[in-house]
């Protein structure tokens, strides 16, 4: 467990001096680790010699300090999971360690795309996410960065940042881990009561409906997904879109071929996002 940037740099320098050809994989998290993170770590272990996991509750990803404080914290369970998976280094800094002055720090802009989909509801979110990813890339200098596909918008924006800033980092993606009901595994599931959990399980069903009807056209795809959610009062839908994976912009009516169906909704006061690949036309 390393809590300072100087300590992280020193330990990485030691490991690289011991084995100059060694490769480094980075997994960035905000803690509250779960089975999805296990798969990320296992993949990192297969692709690199040194695995670094960061656990930093990034305040720039939250609307208010109170929202950040409300995020689940499971430090003992996190440490046990990381020890079990043979992680080489865990970087767990404080906010002052990462930001000398949070109110005037240099930030990375996600641009217009950062204000769509997730960014429409949380316009600060992707700028904050990319800013900390950039800091971690500068500190760790990883050869690979490993991400889950539950948040495709995050992956797209990180890949674009890496390309635009000429970093020599390969992005490795891992399929979404799901529970028995088909929900993407996350710390929020444990916060739902039984009725809300049953309602939330309609979200992956809606995506399945979208995929099953995508061979007709994009309108039929979206209509089928909306129909799967009809009558479920516990779900407040935020967005449901079909986007081009090459641009992450909404597909037009004449689109044919691969696309992504994205969904976000609030259930029991907790936000859930999910996606699936579809083939239109």
**61 marked as part of a ligand binding site:** no
Q: Are 5-174 and 189-280 equal in CATH topology?
A: no
Predicted pLDDT of residue 72: 74
150 marked as binding residue: yes
Concatenating the DSSP letter of every residue in 123-149 gives TTHHHHHHHHHHHHHHHH--SEEEEET
How many CB atoms neighbour CB 56 within 10 A?
A: 20
Q: Does 187 show up as a binding residue in the annotation?
A: yes
Tracing tokens 């929020």 back to the chain, one arrives at: 188
| H helix or E strand, kind and range, residue 14 | helix 5-18
Give every residue of the chain whose pLDDT is below 70, as ranges.
none
The answer to whether the annotation marks 86 as part of a ligand binding site is: no
Evaluate whether 170 touches 193 at the Cβ level (below 8 Å): no
- CATH architecture of the domain 189-280 equals 2-Layer Sandwich (3.30)
* CA–CA distances in Å: residue 71 to residues 55, 58, 88, 174: 13, 11, 26, 24
Count Cβ neighbours within 10 Å for each residue of 192-207 and write b for 16 or more, e otherwise. beeebbebbbbbbebb
Report the pLDDT value the prediction gives residue 67, as an integer from 0 to 100: 81
Q: CATH homologous superfamily of domain 5-174?
A: HUPs (3.40.50.620)
> Any binding-site annotation on 185?
yes
> What are the Cα distances from residue 180, in Å, to 72, 132, 170, 194?
22, 33, 32, 14
Give the integer Cα–Cα distance in Å for 136 and 242: 31
- Pick from 147, 142, 143, 140: nearest CA to 129: 147
Would the pTM count as exceeding 0.75? Answer: yes
Is 274 labeled as ligand-binding? no
Q: What is the pLDDT of residue 253?
A: 86
pLDDT at residue number 62 = 85
Ranges of each domain in the chain: 5-174, 189-280
151 is in an annotated binding site: yes
Q: Which two tokens stand for residue 157?
A: 């924006």
CB atoms within 10 A of CB 167: 15
pLDDT for position 71: 80
pLDDT recorded at residue 154: 97
Q: Which of 34, 37, 255, 270 is catalytic?
A: 37
Among candidate residues 97, 55, 52, the one with its CA nearest the CA of residue 75: 55
User: What local confidence, expressed as pLDDT, does residue 29 receive?
Assistant: 95
Beta strand pairing call for 270-280 and 257-267: antiparallel
- Catalytic (active site) residue 37: yes
Q: What is the pLDDT of residues 188-228, one digit of tens each?
A: 888 899 999 999 999 999 999 999 999 999 999 999 999 99
- Whether residue 260 contacts residue 273, with contact meaning beta carbons closer than 8 Å, is answered with no
Dihedral sign for Cα 104, 108, 113, 118, please.
negative
């Amino acid at each position: 467990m390393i809590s300072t940037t100087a300590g992280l740099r020193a330990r990485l320098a030691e490991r690289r001096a011991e084995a100059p050809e060694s490769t480094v994989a980075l997994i960035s998290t905000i803690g509250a680790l779960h089975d999805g993170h296990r798969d990320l770590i296992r993949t990192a272990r297969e692709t690199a010699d040194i695995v670094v996991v960061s656990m930093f509750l990034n305040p720039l990803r939250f609307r208010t300090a109170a929202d950040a404080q409300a995020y689940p914290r499971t430090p003992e369970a996190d440490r046990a999971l990381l020890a079990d998976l043979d992680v080489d280094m865990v970087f767990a800094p404080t906010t002052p360690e990462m930001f000398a002055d949070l109110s005037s720090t240099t930030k990375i802009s996600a641009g217009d795309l950062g204000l769509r989909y997730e960014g429409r509801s949380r316009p600060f979110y992707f700028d904050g996410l990319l800013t900390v990813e950039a800091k971690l890339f500068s500190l760790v200098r990883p050869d690979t960065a490993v991400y889950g596909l539950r948040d495709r918008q995050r992956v797209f924006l990180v890949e674009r940042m890496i390309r635009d800033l000429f970093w020599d980092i390969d992005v490795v993606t891992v399929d979404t881990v799901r529970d028995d009901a088909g929900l993407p595994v996350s710390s929020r599931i444990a916060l739902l009561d039984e009725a809300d959990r049953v309602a939330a399980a309609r979200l992956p069903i809606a995506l399945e409906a979208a995929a099953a009807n995508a061979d007709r056209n994009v309108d039929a795809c979206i209509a089928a997904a909306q129909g799967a959610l009809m009558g479920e009062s516990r779900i407040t839908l935020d967005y449901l879109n079909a986007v081009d994976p090459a641009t992450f912009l909404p597909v037009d009516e004449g689109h044919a071929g691969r696309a992504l169906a994205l969904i976000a909704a609030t259930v029991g006061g907790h936000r859930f996002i999910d996606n699936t690949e579809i083939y239109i036309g």
